[in-house]
Structure 1
């Protein structure tokens, strides 16, 4: 086995005071630092008051695949390569996964310097259940794919954690409201550990309305899992059709049944329409 070591170094998600001595030592002692943004890395070193003699190379989503070969050459030659993203743990919705895979395949040691995590920080302060949770990261920016992804999570019983860009937050919350129900408890965590940290808690409907204003900063959204017995799509369609036969309008019936069952409103509406056409 080569003496090279790959180190994933978690960097502060906001407050530089959260930087651990181990993280500082990792940056100082590195032979190579693969940085998501080389300017931010140098600014972090400046704020920490430390210097490093490491070779600093850029390593971001756009060049991650092409950089793996360069970093693997350094590891094979016995160098200590540290991966540092802009904030938080590398490979968690950030570059890092490809070089980890490549290093493991060649038997090179992979280790990590633990540190701040937006996922766990938001989960802990959300006020939602923490015993079981899942991390969904960034859902698709394409509306149709985003709605389908959220609809697939309608019956997920675990607390869910998402990342979202501020300019897409309002659309995300509207789609989450439609898929999971407007009363589903959630928390929008903004600028965690920074000067203007803010946590807004409420039902998805309430949060969707709040987000219509300007929202800035790094966003983590925590959403409660589904509760109560699962309702199949077929049962939900049957309930909608029964309500319509009793004189209720289709869209309000779909909205109420979808919210109660934890199903996607749009998907239930289309299924109900199809069932009505088949019955004629």
Structure 2
């Protein structure tokens, strides 16, 4: 089922309320310092510059006014797919030269920058440089000493992270996981072990398999969410355990996918993991003649909290019946 892109409504002829003073008319925001507001095209219109321009992930109304101005003012627009971007520019009434710069042609970035010194770059959707070749273009511009601006705008993983309802103060963005091999296994293990929330992209036909693998390494009850078709007519966010989501999406799904996985709860063991007997380790290290300071450091390295490691190191290194003394760590 194809999602419909919602287009912004037609302009209205109603006149907005007038500005409260001349400065608001000039600057757009009352009290704003004109020098603090960066315009899309700088004072020297001929100066080389690269703009990374976010494009909507679905709803064309999410394109910013500044993005439209930059696209209109650039010498050329570089993109992953000239047909896709050409349709967007046609909808906006913008006619600019289009240059293909994708993963297979990004090696030509230096020549493109030389030919089009004021270059706007867009990906197929979202913010360039996030899981696409835009990052390579930035490196090429930096090496050529060309200023780069990244416009704020649409991206998929941030709305999906918020929609998940999972903790978002600290999170890791994984992008797309490797399809197979050791690197994929290592990345999955890292997701399972980390304490913060993880967001990642996945293709529709691999979603079920990835959720099953995540359930295997994280544990079937780990909380997660799947968001697809952000800002489109059939936008959906499904929340639940990894095992429930794996079963729900086992048959495949359409649309662009963001998976969000909660962090590892404190004290939880991963599947196949054996709980560490810190007390036994501490006694063995004490029998070897290690100092309280050494034992505390080793316990902390094993994942024990600092206060608990401190108390246990004192307990195993002091004579029975004596009062623990902090001098053991001096």
1:155 to partner: Cα distance: 1.6
Determine the C-alpha separation between the residues in 2 that align with 1:115 and 1:45: 17
Say if 2:192 is the partner of 1:154. yes
Q: Counterpart of 2:205?
A: 167
Would the aligned equivalents of 1:33 and 1:81 in 2 still touch at CA under 8 Å? yes
1:234 to partner: Cα distance: 10
SS at match of 1:39: helix
Determine the C-alpha separation between the residues in 2 that align with 1:220 and 1:45: 27
Say if 2:250 is the partner of 1:212. yes
Would the aligned equivalents of 2:160 and 2:258 in 1 still touch at CA under 8 Å? yes
Q: Counterpart of 2:239?
A: 201
CA 1:177–1:233: 2 relative to 1, 3 Å: closer
- Structure having the larger proportion of residues in helix: 1
Bigger mean CA deviation after superposition, 97-106 or 20-29:
97-106
1:42 to partner: Cα distance: 1.3
Say if 2:100 is the partner of 1:62. no
Q: How does 1:74-153 map to 2 (within 5 A)?
A: 74=115, 79-142=117-180, 145-153=183-191
Would the aligned equivalents of 1:126 and 1:187 in 2 still touch at CA under 8 Å? yes
- Name the TM-score, length of structure 1 as normaliser: 0.78
Determine the C-alpha separation between the residues in 2 that align with 1:102 and 1:175: 37
Determine the C-alpha separation between the residues in 1 that align with 2:165 and 2:179: 27
Determine the C-alpha separation between the residues in 2 that align with 1:191 and 1:97: 24
1:55 to partner: Cα distance: 1.8
Unaligned runs of 5+ in 1: 240-280
1:219 to partner: Cα distance: 0.5
SS at match of 2:61: helix
**Matched length:** 233
Q: Counterpart of 1:229?
A: 267
Q: Which of the numbers 86, 94, 105 marks the counterpart of 1:51?
A: 94
Q: If you compute each CA radius of gyration, which structure gives the higher value, 1 or 2?
A: 2
Q: Counterpart of 1:4?
A: 48
Greater RCO (CA < 8 Å, at least 6 residues apart): 1
- Structure having the larger proportion of residues in strand: 1
SS at match of 2:192: coil
CA 1:190–1:234: 2 relative to 1, 3 Å: closer
CA 1:17–1:232: 2 relative to 1, 3 Å: closer
CA 1:209–1:104: 2 relative to 1, 3 Å: same
SS at match of 1:188: strand
1:18 to partner: Cα distance: 0.6
SS at match of 2:209: helix
- Name the TM-score, length of structure 2 as normaliser: 0.66
Deviation digits for residues 109-129 of structure 1 (CA, Å, limit 9, x no counterpart): 100111111011111111111
Would the aligned equivalents of 1:72 and 1:99 in 2 still touch at CA under 8 Å? no
Say if 2:114 is the partner of 1:73. yes
1:59 to partner: Cα distance: 1.1
Would the aligned equivalents of 1:133 and 1:159 in 2 still touch at CA under 8 Å? yes
Unaligned runs of 5+ in 2: 1-45, 278-330
CA 1:148–1:82: 2 relative to 1, 3 Å: same
